[in-house]
Amino acid sequence: MATTLYQRLGGAEGIARLVDDVMAAHLDNPIVKTRFENTQDMEHAKQMAREFFCAGTGGPEVYTGKDMLTAHKGMNISEQEYLEVMDDIVGAMTKNEIDEGAKNEVVAILYSLKGNIIRV
């Protein structure tokens, strides 16, 4: 029986761990850390990321945040920053022992969104 990407990421609990690890990595990453240090409500940012990952990977949760273009408009995110964030996400998936197939699916989803994130 096929499982959803959501299930392979560990469901809501696994995705919550991933989001925590991703945010910690962003705060340690010298290329993007200032963007995340200046987040006024980190818990809200984590909640939106959890909802986004859950809903976007086949989970029952509903994403209540802004669409990607609206969320990133005016931030002038560079290609380097985008790649650093992607690397942080892959690193968090590796730390959480997510299989290569699931990692590749997540990367493909995030890559498909780059036009709504980079320099918008």
Residue 77 has phi, psi (to 5 degrees) of -70, 130
What would the pLDDT profile of 71-110 be if each residue is shown by its tens digit?
999 999 999 999 999 999 999 999 999 999 999 999 999 9
Task: Please report which confidence band the pLDDT of residue 38 belongs to, taking 50, 70 and 90 as the band edges.
Answer: confident
**If you search the block for the tokens 């919550």, which residue do you land on?**
16
Q: Are 49 and 25 in contact (CB under 8 A)?
A: no
In angstroms, rounded to a whole number, what is the distance separating the alpha carbons of residues 11 and 41?
24
Which residues are bridge partners to 118 per DSSP?
A: 77
Q: State the pTM of this model.
A: 0.93
Q: Show the domains of the chain with their CATH numbers.
A: 5-116 (1.10.490.10)
Q: Which of 27, 16, 34, 110 is nearest to 75 (CA)?
A: 34
